[in-house]
Every structure is written in structure tokens, then in C-alpha cells.
Amino acid sequence: MENEKKIELFNQKNVTSRRSEKGYGFSYFAKKDFKPGDVVMMGIGKTIDHQTYHISVQIDVKKHYIPKKWTGKYWNHSCDPNTYVKTRSDGFPNLIANKKINKGDEITYSYWMSELFWIKQADESHVKCRCGSKKCKHKILSFSQLSEIDKKNVRNSHKCSRYLLKRGVDNLTRHLKI
């Protein structure tokens, strides 16, 4: 609990939350400028052994966490994100600046950086992407939905959850039947 409080305070120092102009509810916005490589936010929460239909973050094949307001609840997707996921030693994710982030910018990451696949009931399996970027795919993809080339590029960049780096494509396909 003490660690969770420290993470909440760290996040509150870096971001604020308010409604997104993209129409998908609340999001986080930078309180200051960040340069590439800076830790923007840290995630933590109660761990569970399954994906929920709404607001869980995958941290291993059969492990998700339920974020709270200041620990990732409003992390939103973009097909051209300004952060990426890097797994900490405790297994939880940090969002790292992928490019320069200016004070006031919305904080985003691509859900395929953490999510292996979507359960049928998951919001993301039927909601259209509204990121508005030139790279928008108009749907929110999980890692398993990426092309083989994109999967390889993600792994080579190390800009995803550590568990996605451990497994080859054949193993990923096998785990989809969980």
C-alpha cells in the first residue's frame, strides 16, 4: 500500500486528469514537458488472473491489474502514441516518453504494447479508435492482431510489456486459447 501511495503521488506530480476531447471519457494530460526516455507515469493495482471487459491492464499471459484513478485507469490508446510501456522489476508497467511531450499534451500509449488479445466482451474488441492520428487503424488492436512484421518491430524496439518479449509468435498463438 505504501508503494502504491508513492506511485500515486509521482503520477499526480506529472499529470492531471480530465475529459478527453476525443470523446472517450477521461484521460491524463502532462503537467510539464517530458523528453524521450522520461518516466511519465507508473502503473500499479490489484492483480487478477483474467482480462476484464473494461479497464484492466495486462502484465503477463494470465495476469492483469485493475488500475485506480492515479495508477493508470485513464491510460488511453493511440495508434501513434507519445509513450510506450516498459515493465518494472515488480512486474508493473511504466509509461515512458516515446517523443517530446509538451505540458498540456494528452498522454497515450498503444494497447498492443500490453494486451495480448481481447476477450469477446472487451470494450476494445468492438469500439472504433478515435485517436485521430495519421497512422490511425480505426480499430484498437491487441498484440496478437498486429502483422508479423509489426510484432517483430515491436519486439526489436522493446517498447512493450516484458512478457510479450519472452514468447515467440507460435507461443502467442497457443496462448490465445486461454
Q: Show the domains of the chain with their CATH numbers.
A: 2-175 (2.170.270.10)
Angle, CA 66 vertex, CA 166 and CA 98 arms, to 5°: 55
118 closest CA partner among 30, 58, 28, 37: 58
Average of per-residue pLDDT values in the chain: 90
Say if residue 22's pLDDT is above 60.
yes
Q: Which three cell numbers stand for residue 79?
A: 495508434
User: Residue 126: what pLDDT?
Assistant: 80
Q: Find out whether 72 and 45 touch, Cβ atoms under 8 Å.
A: yes
Q: Residue 138 is placed in which grid cell?
A: 480505426
Confidence of residue 79 (pLDDT cuts 50, 70, 90): very high
Mean pLDDT of the region 107-119: 92
12 band by pLDDT with thresholds 50, 70 and 90: very high
Q: Which residue has the higher pLDDT, 167 or 142?
A: 142
Q: What CA–CA distance (Å, rounded) separates 102 from 52?
A: 32
- pLDDT of 117 > 70? The answer is yes
Query: Looking at the predicted structure, is the pLDDT value of residue 52 above 70?
Result: yes
147/77 Cα distance (integer angstroms): 18
